[in-house]
Amino acid sequence: ANELFGWLTTLYDVWKFLTPSMLKAACKATACELILSGCTLATDHAYIWPNSCRLDDEIAAVMETGLRFQPVRGSMSLGKSQGGLPPDECVEKEDDIIKDSRRLIETYHDSSKYAMLRIALGPC
């Protein structure tokens, strides 16, 4: 467990500087690499949203590539000051998490057979 927490806390200090344009570029490049390898469906379980990054950024980038995508809208509501692992600036209020989760499902989720985009919800 210590190795995992050490790895995560190191990454949180990097991820806290992530911007929407950086997130879009990373997701688009990753989706293209997956397609080149023969992958037709991918998921990403993201759970911290610094600097106005949103799952919408990932969705927009991946949908441009033609890859089927099922992102997981995760969340963190406890920052370091409350005993959590991520920096306080990377966590959200629980009401905001629920509101955004609902918005994402209502906006993007396609439950039809062979859908190109489905939204899942997950914890941290």
DSSP for 3-28 reads HHHHHHHHHHHHHTT--HHHHHHHHH
Closest CA to 59 of 34, 42, 75: 42
Whole-structure pTM value = 0.92
Does the pLDDT at position 8 exceed 60?
Answer: yes
Does the pLDDT at position 7 exceed 70?
Answer: yes
pLDDT the model gives residue 1: 54
The DSSP call for residue 40 is -
2 vs 79 pLDDT, higher one: 79
pLDDT-based confidence at 56, cuts 50/70/90? very high
- Percentage of residues of the chain with pLDDT beyond 90: 90
Does the pLDDT at position 2 exceed 80?
Answer: no
Rounded to 5 degrees, φ, ψ at 27 are -70, -40
| Mean pLDDT of all residues belonging to the chain | 95
For 16-39, write each residue's pLDDT tens digit: 999 999 999 999 999 999 999 999
